[in-house]
Amino acid sequence: MAGPDDAEETVHEGRFLSYRRTAKGWEYVTRSNARACVAILAVTDDRRVVLVEQFRPPVGRRVIELPAGLVGDIPLQEQEPLLVAAKRELKEETGYEAKNWTTLLEGTSSAGMTDELVTIFYATGLTKMTEGGGVHGENIKVHYVHQSDIGKWCRDRQAEGMRIDFKIFAALHLARAVTQSTEARLWY
């Protein structure tokens, strides 16, 4: 968000994004249809990380990501809590529900380009409820990768021409810090 002395103008208002410019000339986008984003590091009991793959038009490729989605983008649910959105997105995209939820971090997605904030959750105690795959033609493919194989597996996908969302590695690092004192030998 701009400072108190930095008036802004809307240059273009799209269906989902607003293109803004500060009085000092900084250009950025803001979402007009949601108030935040959530991403979920979901880990099965046998230490497999649940990742999603989907085509992303801005990069023109399939991208490997954490399950994620918008908060407050459903009519009449604009004030939904972050955790409610995270639970909804995990189930829509992967078909899983989780018993245990921990908030890992809230941070900017790309501070030079957008005011969007992403909250990353850590979900365990997973139970498969549906097939997942997303909604409205998202065509999401779900992957299960043992956490000890994530680095190589992602490099292999990148070699195939896919993009890898770095939030996967940030979430794994954060979860490791949270679990070191409570779950001995989880990370090896």
9 annotated active-site: no
Catalytic residue among 106, 138, 160, 183: 138
Measured CA distances, 95 to 43, 48, 57, 92, 100 (Å): 13, 15, 24, 6, 16
Burial of 68 (0-12, 13-18, 19+ CB in 10 A): buried
What tokens appear for 54 in the block?
């989907």
Give the separation between CA 29 and CA 10, rounded to whole angstroms.
9
Q: DSSP class of residue 34?
A: -
| CB contact set of 77 (below 8 Å; sequence gap of 6+) | none
Helix/strand/coil for 116: coil
SS3 160: coil
Catalytic residues: 138
